[in-house]
Amino acid sequence: MKILYAFQGTGNGHIARAQEIIPILKKHVSVDTLISGHQSQLKATFDLNYQYKGISLLYDKTGGLSYWKTFTENKFLEAVKIIKNLDLSEYDLIINDYEPLTGWACKTKKLPMIELSHQASMSFKETPKPEKKDFFGEMILKYYVPSERKIGFHFENYHPQIKKPVIRRKIRNLDPDKKGFYLVYLPSFSDENIIKVLKQISVEWKVFSKYSKLQHKDGNVEVFPIDEIQYLKYFENCDGILCNAGFETPAEALFMDKKLFVIPIHNQYEQECNACALDKMGIPNSKVLEVKEIQDWVASDQHLQVNYPDDIEDILLNEVLVK
């Protein structure tokens, strides 16, 4: 059996999940890989057979999705041409983690595909969502990657086809401790906005920034360029995580029994849905980077025990690699 594993390069979660799934797949089948998108800070630890710029959601520096940048800086006509010319006929199955080029190629050419992603979980009515629906956000979730077979990942099993998060080995192998500081990963905000707020909250902050090329300190706020080894060291020993309302980082924080506070990216409906799900689990969130709410969170004794089993190989063998 020959598989193409296609995944999205926007954000770090898709690559982190691929780092776990692809070695398992290669134990059982022949695997090629395809990535599209250009907004990830993690690098692939495996060979990439195909790489495209693709279509990425782009952000401003004040915490919001920028529709202008998304529509002006993506090459949509080039993407359409790639979809038309993409020959996937040699593959018995395409596994798709929210990657639009192969998603639309499979739909137009009627090729076998299964969507295996966090976004797939949003298709099920049982998945928590805000009371006020976002029409444009719903359309993106529905049509960005058109698929009929879906297995989703989410914080809880809201539906039989929704599985618990894939926690990467690098996280499972850590020995968590709490040493009095807090970790911050808010790539949708500028360093200046983050520092201005966190300097007013008298604990030690370790901020990882995609904008900073050099480590520097401003009072109680220390800023680091993206470095996975250093990030994991601080992740292991922090008291809590302040981050956007993506999926992998909050899931990893919950798995590590870290305090968690999330700020969904403005106009990013998927993150609003994640924040809604986390809110139902007792995890605080805010639409803005605001001193009082974060100060209250730091002073709180937040604790939530989750069970995220290491079962991705069983899912792949019993629910994905089947006719």
Question: Where exactly are the structural domains of the chain?
Answer: 2-167+310-320, 169-299
Cβ within 8 Å of residue 62, ≥6 positions away: 188, 189, 190, 193, 266
Q: Please state, in angstroms and as integers, the Cα–Cα distance from residue 11 to each residue in 29, 101, 186, 221, following that order.
A: 27, 17, 12, 24
- Strand, coil or helix: 74: coil
Cβ within 8 Å of residue 70, ≥6 positions away: 56, 57, 58
- The pTM (predicted TM-score) of the whole model is 0.91
- Of 2.30.30, 1.10.3470, 3.40.50, 3.30.70, which CATH number belongs to 2-167+310-320? 3.40.50
Superfamily of domain 169-299: Glycogen Phosphorylase B; (3.40.50.2000)
Tens-digit pLDDT string for the chain (323 aa): 999 999 998 777 898 899 999 999 999 999 999 999 765 555 667 788 899 887 766 666 555 666 667 777 777 788 889 999 999 999 999 999 999 999 999 999 999 999 999 999 999 999 999 998 888 889 888 889 999 999 999 999 999 999 999 999 999 999 999 999 999 999 889 999 999 999 999 999 999 998 999 999 999 999 999 999 999 999 999 999 999 999 999 999 999 999 999 999 888 899 999 999 999 999 999 999 999 999 999 999 998 999 999 999 999 999 999 86
Q: Decide whether 2-167+310-320 matches 169-299 in CATH topology.
A: yes
